[in-house]
Structure 1
Amino acid sequence: MTSNPAAESRPWTELPRATFDLETTGPNPLTARIVTASLILVAPDGEVLRHGEWLADPGVPIPEEATAVHGVSTERAQAEGAPVKQVAYELASALGGLFADGVPVFAFNASYDFTVLDRELKRHEMPPLTPYPVLDPLVLNKQVDKYHRGKRTLGVLSEEYGVELENAHTSAADCLATERLATAMTAKFPQLAMDSGGLHRRQVEWAKEQAADLQRYFDKIGKQATINGEWPVRS
């Protein structure tokens, strides 16, 4: 893990941060392919400093149910998208540069997005990315609001915290809403305003504990499911 000493000692809220989101071909991160991606760099005051967008041709048909979510058809991806290998390389390079500078990267349900990218890199025989530091509003919310009632989707939590989310399930909209949600959540739970490296390491443990709690609940009610607590990349 590469770190920036100055960033390591200051709360993430005082420093630039980035936010990352993918839209893909399906819900399983081990097999899903990238369709669109967004990576946005944000100043400490929330101003957008840089905004990158990618449209990929995933090399496989995009299922109709996935198109219904994000709006990108197989035909459009083939006509307008860059080869997915190129998109994965550019994304990994951009993210790697941010991580090398100690810039935290937000991703909602980070273990999905970073696992999809990890598998794309493996699929195309490219070097792996080590995501650090990553901040995940879903893991954070489960930790600070353990008895939250109802769903914890990005849409639900954005509405709860007064975060604007237009064009949900486009990578650009979800991307910016993720950073805004984390900021609003930290205003309510100031214990989250710590250095990003320390918060990353805590989330690794929190994600394991949260998965174990859900596994115990499923076992208790007889639901056949295996919950993976690896974060931010599933093996």
Structure 2
Amino acid sequence: MTWHLGRWAAFDLETTGVDVENDRIVTAAVHARGGGIEPEAGEWLADPGVEIPAEAYNVHKISTEHAREHGDPAEQVVREVAAELAAQIVKGGAAVVGHNVSYDLTLLDRECRRYELPTLHDRLDGHPLHVIDTRVLDQHAVPYRKRVSEDQGARQLITLAQFYELPWDDEAAHGCSYDALAAARIAHRIATLAHMRRRDWPEHVLAERRLRFNAFRDLTVAELHAAQVEWAAEQAAGLQRHFQKTDPNAVVDGAWPLRPWVEPTAAEGALA
């Protein structure tokens, strides 16, 4: 079965920041679709147990006070999110779909470790984790797209929605359910282009240089996953070379879809 015809579990987190090693989950969504099974959805609001910084509030509009009043305990949310994702993978055979989803999967892994819970990998009982990352796919397919503006980058979720001609709601964006489902719709559009004749592609797509949608054609989800491991590493290496033009010591982690866990030393202590 080709990768776009199976079950998908669209996954997204909104968090207290962008540091996967130390930041916390505020909201989470898992929306399962396709594969001949009825749609399923889960959404969670957590009290992360720490202050939600202004920078994070400005993105997802959830304040510390709101999370404390309405959110479930963080440990409970982490347990339930990991269990739901695992159930979709093990019982439904779902691939996890998201935008820059290595961030979400790594942060979930660290949250599980913080509360001494089984990680997602622990829960899979040998079943493979297959991931579809719209950021990795889009960058491979359209490698030379330029920034839209000074404020909007080439690989942001909104940019992909616009490029693949999907509706976008600024008010709903950065809600975890909205972003998870937007990523799934983008992944489906990428798959559609991969399995179309090139001459049938929209003009604005054909206007881009060195398109590589054919790299995704007729792959199984396992084959696509394996290819993304290589593409993500190549993309990170390219970004690292770019950063090193101004900072010779810059390092970009190319691990995908999960950044390896490094056991902290006694001096470093456990996760905060």
Bigger Rg over Cα: 2
Q: CA RMSD in A?
A: 1.8
Q: How does 1:8-47 map to 2 (within 5 A)?
A: 10-43=1-34
Instruction: Determine the structure 2 residue equivalent to 1:160.
Output: 163
Amino acid at match of 1:214: L
Contact 2:20/2:103 (8 A) holds in 1: yes
For 1:158-216, what per-residue CA distance to the aligned partner results, in whole angstroms no more than 9, with x for missing partners? Answer: 01111123211010110110000011112122342521111111111111111111112
- Give the whole-Å Cα distance in 1 for the aligned partners of 2:98 and 2:31: 11
Deviates more, 1:187-196 or 1:78-87: 187-196
Is the counterpart of residue 95 in structure 1 residue 95 in structure 2? no
Contact 1:30/1:119 (8 A) holds in 2: yes
- Give the whole-Å Cα distance in 2 for the aligned partners of 1:141 and 1:48: 28
For 1:6-60, what per-residue CA distance to the aligned partner results, in whole angstroms no more than 9, with x for missing partners? Answer: xxxx112222211000000001122110000111011259x97111110000010
Deviates more, 1:122-131 or 1:68-77: 122-131
Q: Under a length normalisation based on structure 2, what TM-score does the superposition of the two structures give?
A: 0.78
Instruction: Determine the structure 2 residue equivalent to 1:210.
Output: 235
Q: How does 1:66-85 map to 2 (within 5 A)?
A: 66-85=56-75
Amino acid at match of 2:191: T
Contact 1:19/1:41 (8 A) holds in 2: yes
Contact 1:26/1:32 (8 A) holds in 2: yes
Contact 2:8/2:32 (8 A) holds in 1: yes
Q: Give secondary structure in 2 for the equivalent of 1:41.
A: strand
- Give the whole-Å Cα distance in 2 for the aligned partners of 1:228 and 1:50: 33
Q: How does 1:98-177 map to 2 (within 5 A)?
A: 98-101=88-91, 102-130=93-121, 132-150=129-147, 151-166=154-169, 167-177=172-182
- Give the whole-Å Cα distance in 2 for the aligned partners of 1:37 and 1:165: 20
Identity %: 41
The total of aligned residue pairs comes to 225
- Give the whole-Å Cα distance in 2 for the aligned partners of 1:175 and 1:164: 14
Contact 2:14/2:26 (8 A) holds in 1: yes
Amino acid at match of 2:184: E
- Give the whole-Å Cα distance in 2 for the aligned partners of 1:220 and 1:67: 33
Gaps of 5+ in 2: 122-127, 148-153, 196-213, 261-272
1:234 to 259, 264, 268: 259
Contact 1:13/1:44 (8 A) holds in 2: no
Contact 2:32/2:88 (8 A) holds in 1: no
Gaps of 5+ in 1: 1-9
- Give the whole-Å Cα distance in 2 for the aligned partners of 1:195 and 1:55: 34
CA gap 1:223/1:172 in 2 versus in 1, 3 angstroms: farther
Amino acid at match of 2:162: E
Contact 1:165/1:174 (8 A) holds in 2: no
CA gap 1:145/1:48 in 2 versus in 1, 3 angstroms: farther
- Give the whole-Å Cα distance in 2 for the aligned partners of 1:32 and 1:165: 27
